[in-house]
Amino acid sequence: MFTIFIDKKNYTVKKSENLLHTCLSIGINLPYFCWHPTLGSIGACRQCAVKIYSNKKDPLGRITMACMTPIQNNMIISINEKEVKNFRKNNIEYLMIHHPHDCPVCAEGGNCHLQDMTVMAKHHNRKYNFSKKTYNNQYLGHFISHEMNRCISCYRCVRYYKDYCDGKDFGVYGSGQRMYFGRLESGELDNEHSGNLIEICPTGVFTDKLHKKHYNRKWDMQYSPNICQHCSIGCNILSGERYGYIRRIENRYNYNINQYFICDLGRFGYGYSNLKNRIKNPYIIKNKKKICLSSQKACNIAATIIKSSNKIIGIGSSRASLESNYALLKLVGKKNFSNGMLDSEYKSILLFIKLLENSGLKSISLKEIEECDSILIIGEDITQTSSRMALSIRQAIKMKLTKEAIKNDIPHWHSQGIKNFSEDLKNFLFFIGSTKTKLDDVTTYSYIGSIQNQINILNLIYDFIAKKDLTSYKFNKKTQEKVFLICNSLIKSKKPLIISGSRSSNSTILKIAFNISQSLYLLNSNTKIAFLPYASNSIGVSLFGGMTLNQAVNTIINKKINTLIIMENNLYHWMTKNTIDLIFKKVKTILVLDHQKTTTLKQANLVFPSSNSFESSGTVVNYEGRAQRFFKTYSAKFLNKKNKAKESWKWIYKIYNKINKNTIHDISLDKITKLYSSFSSYFTPLEQMLPTANTKIFEQKVPRSPNRASGRTALRSHINIHEPQQPEDTDSMFSFSMEGSNRFYEYSSYIPFVWSPGWNSPQAWNKFQKEIGGDLKNGSPGILLFKEKIKKTIFFSINKKKYSTKKNFFTIVPYYTLFGTDEISQYSPEIHHKICSIYALINAEDAKEKNLESGSIIIFQCLDQTFHMSIKLSKTLSSKNIALPLGRIGFPYTLLGKTIVNFQEVII
């Protein structure tokens, strides 16, 4: 630690950071543009000027840029000296010479770092009276607007897109005063994290195009801390609402998970919440006619049906909250509860939990991934299925370069110095799977092969690490050398990481992956593992136990089931149409709770409209086993009294109370948390999860809207000129208002919106952190559920002989896409253009054998279902594999690993 003096005050600070980082961390406001906590320093904007004195007797000092100045012990600095203040004021005037006077119509107005820094530097009057430079804007896709005339050449965008994300289709062109930031030509940005340009840009060059279609100023929206529901990573987000519609998603800083960035699916995939044809009232189907019901009557009918049923099954969901799944379990009983997951995924999760609890291995966070120096990915196309993790992996690959540069006295924050140090220093990344991925550009070695060959390769890796006999393996010399490279790099690694998941196509592959992790852990206790399930709450719902979906289906087929309750689960997403149609025919009454008009819901006799994650509060458990809470953004009923949708757990408890004639009809988030906390020791820590609904700051709730919120009285004036009382949230510490304590960040990690005096843009996260780029002042939210019980060595048995014979038929393997693979994103019309057309992918040599070419139409059967589609050819896909878009409508996950029959071309 060093002591420095800033404007005659002394501070004790870290010696490893630059002066700008240090000033912001100790709470001193200093304007900047080009610097970013993650991207580091480049010294392009010259806005963070300070004056440094050589000693106490130095009367003049010298002006220097804080972001490029390392901390030195006893250094003397002035931020408020007159000359340096004028320098910053004049500099920002120079930067804005060609900036348009369009704040009133700019989508960043009120959320703009440029506005904040202009006010901070006290620039208010321009002296430039000549023509301004103008540029032609580009089309960058459906999500991002481009307004190049607002650019101040801070270089943030290109450093983020090219240097941080490794994007290939964006750059900076020109020289001198004619710099252009964009693509070579107009077109959709290809990178999965391009949406972060909206928050990275300190001006209004890149803005949210979806938000602009229904624009509202930041201070006129209502926000809440939420969790992205599209995959198992559990990224923290801020959801903003106006007039009952979600209008904007922003990144919510979490040090352990997403930090400053989220993927495009999480940012733009919210359209399913805004559909106008969503179910808003309970209804029953009688004589093929839909009859709308009141809430009370619907609950009475449901209670009567359930009480008169001899046998009932309730199917939960991996996209529903812990609260909703527990409520369903409580209603139908543990023996009649199904977790709604396929056999393969549930068994995989149980193996993973067993490994964590008994082996000493720990699941890894995204932040920790960036420190790993050797990574092996097995069977997961992470860029498409867990995209934010792929971004962390890219940073891990670059970490070797950063560490070597630091050894050569280049500071870790000096981004350009590190970039110029070397281009060849990279950590190891290996991939073993069925199809190539978008991480291939940074992969040391990728092995693409059949399931059988993957198993053989993985067995060889395991036996090599465990020092077993290798003479039985027969690979060509080149493959063997590459496998030994994988083994040696993992063994010599300081922080090795094994990544696999439910999509690895085969349970044996998963077991070997776990065995490799255990073997490495015995050699190196820093070994970590990551297991990626299908959905946002797959880990959470598995902790309730119960039947799998396969077992529930078999029970319905073989036994007489009167009533089937399906909660927030489209069964056609998991199993074939023929199978689900069969069980629906065998059940007398089908009761469905959901917020989307799924294929399953259309088969229901009785329907309850549930609320989605933006309209409800609850808890989900991510891939690490980290329980995280999300809170409703708005009250749907307040804006539309005819809207009867509510959380599934509230509907179910209403029905439960009707059946049991309970006099207590109200159930709250705190009450149900207490109930399921006693159900399992896994959930015991959640009872202490703060904040509760009774949490207040200075006797006030926390506002969901900024204190400048306007127009509240006009929201419902077209209905009634008298403003109704704002709804009360009995489930959280938040109020549906701008009224409340704005000092929430000092006492809670659940931050509803980003704002601090003088800081209106997302850069205000600086004010909520212990140090810039570090943890939040009250720690990042979330509780890890899995604790080590008994430390012992666990290896899963593998039958090697079972997979020794060559298969001469086509096996289904998956290919995934960021947009369209998960269920709820398929209901968002705004992203339909990003969902690629359906096709089958087969090996080029296999196609040649069957006289097929790219675009040929094929037909085949699998699990008694017939499939028609066009094909594309691949030179990398293993022979006798056929890749299908599993997760898309009509392609359930149960097809994974199955073989196809009657494969032939359709002649048109």
Contact 4, 13 (CB under 8 A): yes
Report the chain's mean pLDDT, rounded to a whole number: 93
Alpha-carbon distance of 561 to 904, in angstroms, equals 40
Q: Which domains does the chain have, with CATH numbers?
A: 2-95 (3.10.20.740), 283-339+545-737 (3.40.50.740), 345-533 (3.40.228.10), 804-905 (2.40.40.20)
What DSSP designation does 520 have?
H
Q: Which residues of 367-401 are buried (b: 16+ CB within 10 A; e: fewer)?
A: bbbbbbbbbbbbbbbbbbbbbbbbbbbbbbbbbbb
Note the pLDDT tens digit of each residue in 659-685.
988 755 679 999 999 999 999 999 999
Alpha-carbon distance of 656 to 660, in angstroms, equals 6
Backbone angles phi and psi of 458, in degrees to 5: -65, -40
- Ranges in the chain, pLDDT < 50: 803-806
For the record, the structure tokens of 500 come out as 């696999």
One-character DSSP codes across 833-883: GGSPPPEEEEEHHHHHHTT--TT-EEEEEETTEEEEEEEEEESSSPTTEEE
Alpha-carbon distance of 189 to 140, in angstroms, equals 6
Q: What is the pLDDT of residue 805?
A: 38
For 585, other C-beta atoms within 10 Å of its C-beta total: 9
- Coil vs helix vs strand at 563: strand
Contact 110, 155 (CB under 8 A): no
What DSSP designation does 646 have?
B
Q: What is the pLDDT of residue 864?
A: 87
Outline where DSSP puts E strands in 546-624: 563-567, 589-594, 606-609, 618-621
Alpha carbon 134 to its chain centroid, in Å, reads 37
- Nearby residues of 323 by Cβ (< 8 Å), 6 or more positions away: 618, 619, 647, 649, 669, 672, 673, 676
Q: What is the pLDDT of residue 505?
A: 67
Alpha-carbon distance of 859 to 861, in angstroms, equals 7
pTM of the model: 0.95
Q: What is the pLDDT of residue 39?
A: 96
Contact 345, 465 (CB under 8 A): no
